[in-house]
Amino acid sequence: MMDNYCFNYRLLYCYFIALNIPYMKSRLTFVFVFLINFSQMYAQGQGWIRAQQFVERGNNFVAMAEYQDALNAYNNAIMEDDTYAEAYMKRAMVYRYLARVDEAMQDYNKALELNPFSEAVYNNRAKLKMLAMDYNGALRDINQAININPTNEDSRSMKVDDLIALRKYEEAIVEIDTLIEQGYRVNTELEKKAVVFLLLGDFQQSQLYLDSALIYNPESSIAYDLMGVLELKRGDFEDAITCFDKAIAINPAFAMAYYNRAIAKRYNGNSEGALEDLNQAVEIGQDSENVFFARALIRKEMGDMEGAIQDYDQAIGNDEYYIDALYNRAFSLKYTGDYSSAFEDAELILDLERESPKHWNLMGNIHMLFGDYEKAIDAYTEAIYYDNEFYTAIYNRGLAYVMYYRMDLGCADLRRAKANSFYKAEKAWGSYCFKR
């Protein structure tokens, strides 16, 4: 093969010799420079070909869900040609599948640096930003994609999702109506319109569009699931369960429908049925922190505190800033006697929400369990500072003062809680303060 390329070089040399260039030295210099550039272009072309082959190999691995092998293939593609924008975009998609958000974002940025007019990269980066809840950033990317290709209805549909997340409901409805007029996935867009009116609290309009969506597609599990959520909002738990039953019958792998049905069953007093549905959701692969949190609440209600703590662990593992999960885990740990771990959770909560009276009250409760009454009083005082009518904290501080032998201050707090009909204060007042 190299002999053939040498032959081509000779032909090119003869071609330039034949040109009318005044001096042979100039001719030879020009030919020499050209041959060097041609050699570099050839090497780059070969690198691009190999890079393309690695990308195709990576695509095959992605199709088989073998993401680490796909990642290796895209890495090799970039090593062969670090200007190949598609390789960065493909690698970014794998990083997204592996929840490596920062690396995915870097690759999308690099892909756009190399190809700033790629509609696909803008759309994919927008999806990543939506996952990261950067909805304004996602909207900017979607608009860029639409500017590049105004006829792309998929981009407009994604824009609807982003507008809903940003609570720009009127703009979302305009986009939805445009897509419906164009005949684009009518039943799906009708379902989205039903969601908008559900979020606006207009249940009648939401019902109307769900009914219309089911006319277009009577086998839409999503429409029945949304219908169930609508009935939940109305407080009709039996009808909600019936709707979720239909959604699951159509799609037995619909994890969110199991989760929603569990919520309805719990409100309807069927904790065991709710637990079964949440177990099914987890088994299907719905490992959302909300699913674990809901299951933890039910386990706690059923007296399974250890199981509840395990689920709170899972929820917090998925979202380390999940305040409600941290709070409930702290309560559960306190209940099981693990005061030290409960205290650690309370500290984490206060690091995240310094102005939450509920969390300062929790901290006071844990200090009380350790017998550290002075710190408990300080924590309850913080709670009362942020909510002057938080009578639970006022009552608790009263008890802490009493335990710390500061009876006048303690009885003053208990009297205040009692005067505001706090149900525990009457008995405590009678025990500690009645004769004073």
Max CA pair span of the chain: 121
Residue 10 has pLDDT above 60, yes or no: no
How many C-beta atoms lie closer than 10 Å to residue 235's C-beta?
9
Residue 29 has pLDDT above 80, yes or no: no
**CATH fold match for the domains 1-116 and 356-436:** yes
pLDDT of residue 45: 53
DSSP state of 266: H
Task: Give residue 22's Cα distance to chain centre.
Answer: 69
CATH of 1-116, one of 1.10.287.3510, 3.30.360.10, 3.40.50.20, 1.25.40.10: 1.25.40.10
DSSP state of 16: H
pLDDT of residue 407: 87
pTM of the predicted model as reported, rounded to 2 decimal places: 0.69
How many C-beta atoms lie closer than 10 Å to residue 431's C-beta?
10
User: Tell me: the pLDDT tens digits for 307-360?
Assistant: 999 998 888 887 776 777 877 888 788 778 887 887 787 777 777 778 888 888
DSSP state of 19: S
pLDDT of residue 264: 94
**Separation between Cα atoms, residue 417 and residue 425, nearest integer Å:** 6
Contact (Cβ atoms closer than 8 angstroms) between residue 383 and residue 361: yes
Architecture of the 356-436 domain: Alpha Horseshoe (1.25)
Please say whether the dihedral angle defined by the alpha carbons of residues 144, 145, 149 and 153, taken in this order, is positive or negative.
negative
Question: Residue 406 — pLDDT band, cuts 50, 70, 90?
Answer: confident
Contact (Cβ atoms closer than 8 angstroms) between residue 89 and residue 122: no
Contact (Cβ atoms closer than 8 angstroms) between residue 192 and residue 169: no
The average confidence (pLDDT) of the chain is: 84
Provide, rounded to the nearest whole percent, the portion of the chain with pLDDT above 90: 51
**Separation between Cα atoms, residue 57 and residue 54, nearest integer Å:** 5
Average pLDDT on 178-200 reads 95
Domain boundaries, given as residue ranges, for the chain: 1-116, 356-436
Average pLDDT on 86-101 reads 91
Residue 192 has pLDDT above 60, yes or no: yes
Cα angle, residue 159 at apex, residues 157 and 163 outer, rounded to 5°: 120
User: Tell me: the pLDDT tens digits for 158-181?
Assistant: 999 999 999 999 999 999 999 999
Residue 398 has pLDDT above 70, yes or no: yes
